Structure 1
Amino acid sequence: MSWWRTDETHDPARTSWAESAQGHGDFPIQNLPFGIFAPRGEGPRIGVAIGDMILDLRACTTANLLSGDWQEICSEATLNRLLALPSERRRALRRRVSDLLSDEANRAAVEPLLRQAADAVMHLPARIGDYTDFYVGIHHANNVGRQFRPDNPLLPNYKYVPIGYHGRASSIRQSGVPVRRPSGQRKPHDAEHPIFGPSVRLDYELELGVWIGPGNRLGEAIPIGEANEHVAGFCLLNDWSARDFQAWEYQPLGPFLAKNFQSTISPWIVTAEAMAPFHLPQPARPAGDPQPLPYLLSEADLQHGALALTLEVFLQTQRMREEGEAPVRLSTGPATNMYWTVNQIVTHHASNGCNLNPGDLLGTGTISAATREGFGSMLELASGGQDPFQLSNGETRAFVEDGDEVILRATADAPGFVSIGLGECRAVVLPA
């Protein structure tokens, strides 16, 4: 089955007997993402989000609703082993869970195994062995590049090679875990020497996270036509950035302490199978741009490599929370603003024989639109801090302040299918 083709689990007429799934913005029965949750007073285990509930897969195995080696796999406390399975095996589990939650005949056995999501604690979905951040958002690259190189914002290699760097896996945290403002070394423009202290230019970055499924052996590349078999699913990713540290340290080796203090991800892995209806043709490259080199080029990826996702960033300041005001939306834009596709970044990552492993995480880099309403960072919204913007309650922002909560959301839409979401990715900034 081709990775962009659908089956009965995507049927818009399919409904769940779990009432909260009907019309749910993120988790209708057509989604069924996997995550690691802990019910109140219990240990972490694998679950599937359905509406406002979580289906406990460990409990399903105990009740003999999942047979064979699923009983062992679904009793684990991380998703690494499940992610390592071939897509056909994951698809089989998706079909079984969909049947359990849609067939009224299963309700009596399954309903006691549902837990209230509001009462559960979410954990990281996998042991993340490695984390790599790319730079595929061409409008972000242009917007940032213009601040430093007005006449030549993109470096010569950008349109030939998916740019990336290795990040820090140990400091990735799930949505809801606060991020503490980092301290580090920065050099103010009017200072002769650098100083050490809290960042004064803390920023967010709107990204997609790509979860690696089956890996590849060291020394063996992943052909572009097979890259999709190594993608298990997606999440939202906020790659927090201390822009003042970054400006001082990034030459000659790239980001370091400006990025590795913490990254935040949404806790549910929306599977590649769930995303099957939400693929689009790659946007045509502008006239004069080079075509990808042959190892990054396939007809299937050209026709189905882009994602039909709408991305959003919201901000709720501490004052807004105290006054009972809802978060304000800062930006919204499509994920088609990626210059390189998910399959291309996976292929390029392994093109030198680098071995990817189940549970590795790739970040797309900041995804911005060409215009201000779709900018994916405050660095862009406030023009590098030179043009602070006003919020609806009269507060202004040039960068993220203590007490601010940044919230990322994403919705997948396609004609004739039920929309699904990636869940929220949110975190409050604490003082240094």
Structure 2
Amino acid sequence: MSEHSPLDLAEGDPFGPHNLPYGVFSTADEPDRRRLGVRIGGHVLDAGAAAHALGSPYAALLAQPSLNPLLAAGRTAWRDVRRALTAWVTVPAHRADIEPLLHPLDGVTLHLPYEVADYVDFYASEHHATNVGRIFRPDGDALTPNWKHLPIGYHGRAGTVVVSGTDVVRPSGQRKAPTDAAPVFGPSVKLDIEAEVGFLVGTPSELGKPVPLADFGEHVFGLTLLNDWSARDVQAWEYVPLGPFLGKSFQTSVSAWVTPLEALDAARTAPPTRDFPLLPYLDDAEEEQPGGFDLRITVEINGEVVAEPPFSSMYWTAAQQLAHMTVNGASLRTGDLYGSGTVSGPEVNQRGSLLELTWNGRDALELAGGKRTFLEDGDEVVLTAWAPGPDGTRVALGEVRGRIVPSV
């Protein structure tokens, strides 16, 4: 056994063998060659080269520049590959083959690990939806009449999903304050974040055939942190009568790492008690696995923690969202990505957007670099998260980082 091996991780490393998220990387000596990688501690394993070295039947599948072929291979392949990877990084007999294929994270470039087919975003936090309702409808009901009957969502723009670390160019658009006589055009002055979790579809479904709750694990490969950047002033003016458009479509940032669902078995948790009866296709009371995930998210602006939203509080689950977006017969494609919607909890410091944290700009945040109501040029936002793992471990999700740069 070699000394000081990258595989000898510190006890409790949240990127240990119990995690093994997937990504895509390139190296300085071969910048144009993208490879499928798996994170282990502070290194990334070249998965294709490892599979070739150890004679895996999945070598061709893993020697790809994108995660999509593995996504399309289905649940049996996902399970087999994960078991093999776990053995490769834990069995001492494999170290001689594996260690030369490990690359330090600070020596590689990480890329968007999958090709996004469609992008859908939901609105699944009761706390977030209630806060938004109170902000914009102070004299009316906080929740719309349909909110507890179905997971509300909208179709986003797949082509503007970018990997963590990509700068966010401040978007321009029309905006009109209630006191303005006419709309004006210019850079957004209410640029916001939305701390979310994204779910990545692997196995496609047939057009015209809904996906039931029980088949969630057959279609969804894993999850990732997601920041759905939002221009609140553009959104407010365009929002009536249709849903989000230019206020959302300019950019959505995701982690460079996708955590397999299997890594989160210990984080499964029951969703909040539903106080409205659900239609049969959404009723998850008898499902074998609880539909919620106990994920603890942290939001930082310029290195300061501003919120810690709990994903376990989400009213609608990812399985219910998948069932709802296919119940009309819409088909799934490999690489479909859908966001949970802003994650917010019941406490002020658990709100996953500046819209809520500052109550639409009324209450500024006191940061070391100055007060903030919405994001200013130069601000850097970082989302991180962890979940309970097996035997008291933690499973870390890859961060989502983005810095605001001036409008072009």
Residue 43 of structure 2 aligns with which residue? Answer: 53
Deviation at 1:307, TM superposition (A): 0.4
CA contact 1:281–1:302 (8 Å) conserved in 2: no
User: For structure 1, which runs of at least 5 residues remain unmatched after alignment?
Assistant: 1-15, 317-326
Q: Of the candidates 386, 390, 396, which is equivalent to residue 371 of structure 2?
A: 396
Structure 1 residues 156 and 414: CA distance shift in structure 2, 3 A:
same
Q: Structure 2: which 5+ runs fail to align?
A: none
Give me the whole-angstrom Cα distance separating, in 1, the residues matched to 2:131 and 2:288.
Answer: 26
- Over aligned residues, Cα RMSD in angstroms? 1.6
Residue type matched to 1:49 in 2?
R
1:408 is the counterpart of 2:398: no
How many pairs are equivalent? 401
Contact 1:405/1:428 (<8 A) preserved: yes
1:336 — aligned with what?
312
Distance 2:369 2:117 in 1: 43
Amino acid at match of 2:98: V
Equivalent residue for 2:325?
349
| Corresponding residue for residue 86 of structure 1 | 74
The whole-number CA distance in structure 2 between the counterparts of 1:20 and 1:184 is 51
> Take 2:399 and 2:375, find their aligned partners in 1: how far apart are those partners?
19
**Which one is further off, 256-265 or 181-190?**
181-190
* SS of 1:424 mapped into structure 2: strand
TM-score, length basis structure 2:
0.95
Choose which of 351, 364, 369 in structure 1 pairs with 2:345: 369
Does the Cα contact within 8 Å between 2:7 and 2:40 map onto a contact in 1?
A: no
How much has 1:20 moved relative to structure 2? Answer: 6.0
Find out whether 1:420 has 2:406 as its counterpart.
no
Q: Aligned AA for 2:280?
A: P
- Provide the residue aligned with 1:95 in structure 2: 83
Note the alpha carbon deviations across 1:177-222, whole angstroms, 9 max, x for none: 1010001110123310101100000000000000011111111111
Match of 2:232 in 1: 243
Mapped partners of 1:394, 1:239: distance in 2: 24
Letter of the 1:35 partner, please give it: G
Q: 1:162 aligns to what?
A: 151
Q: Percent identity?
A: 43
**Structure 1: distance between partners of 2:14 and 2:188:** 34
Corresponding residue number in structure 2 for 1:12: none
Question: What corresponds to 1:122 in structure 2?
Answer: 110
Q: Secondary structure at the match of 1:232?
A: strand
Does 2:195 match 1:206?
A: yes
Structure 1, residues 109-150: CA drift from partner, whole Å, max 9, x if none? 110000111111111111101000000011110001101112
Q: Following superposition of structure 1 onto structure 2, how do residues 222-241 of structure 1 map, counting pairs within 5 Å?
A: 222-241=211-230
Question: How far apart, in 2, do the equivalents of 1:140 and 1:249 lie?
Answer: 20
- Equivalent position SS for 1:336: helix
Please list the CA deviations of residues 288-323 of structure 1 after superposition, one character each: whole Å capped at 9, or x if unmatched: x3122111123454851110111110110xxxxxxx
Quote how far apart the aligned CAs of 1:279 are: 0.3
Contact 1:17 1:102 in 2 (8 A): no
Distance 2:228 2:371 in 1: 22
1:22 deviates by 2.7
CA contact (8 A) 2:229 2:252 kept: yes
1:100 and 1:415 mapped to 2: Cα distance? 19
Q: Deviations over 1:239-277 (max 9, x none)?
A: 000000000001111110000000100110100111112
Distance 1:395 1:128 in 2: 37
C-alpha contact 1:301 1:343 (8 A) present in aligned 2: no
For 1:247-326, what aligned pairs fall within 5 Å after superposition? Answer: 247-285=236-274, 289-301=275-287, 304-316=290-302
TM normalised by structure 1 equals 0.90
Shift of 1:278: 1.1
Partner of 2:320, secondary structure, is helix
Which one of the candidate residues 187, 206, 215 is aligned to 2:204?
215
Q: What is the CA distance between 1:359 and its match in structure 2?
A: 1.0
Instruction: Confirm or deny: 8 A CA contact 2:123 2:151 kept in the other structure.
Output: yes
Matched residue SS, 1:403:
coil
Contact 1:61/1:71, CA 8 A, preserved across alignment: yes
- Deviation, structure 1 residue 23: 3.8
- The alpha-carbon deviation at position 24 of structure 1 amounts to 5.9
Distance 2:234 2:298 in 1: 26
DSSP 3-state at the match of 1:76:
coil
CA distance in structure 2 between the partners assigned to 1:201 and 1:274 by the alignment? 37
Give the alignment of 1:135-174 within 5 angstroms: 135-150=123-138, 151-174=140-163
Distance 2:406 2:347 in 1: 32
Q: Secondary structure at the match of 1:352?
A: coil
* Separation in structure 1 between the aligned mates of residue 278 and residue 50 of structure 2, nearest angstrom: 46
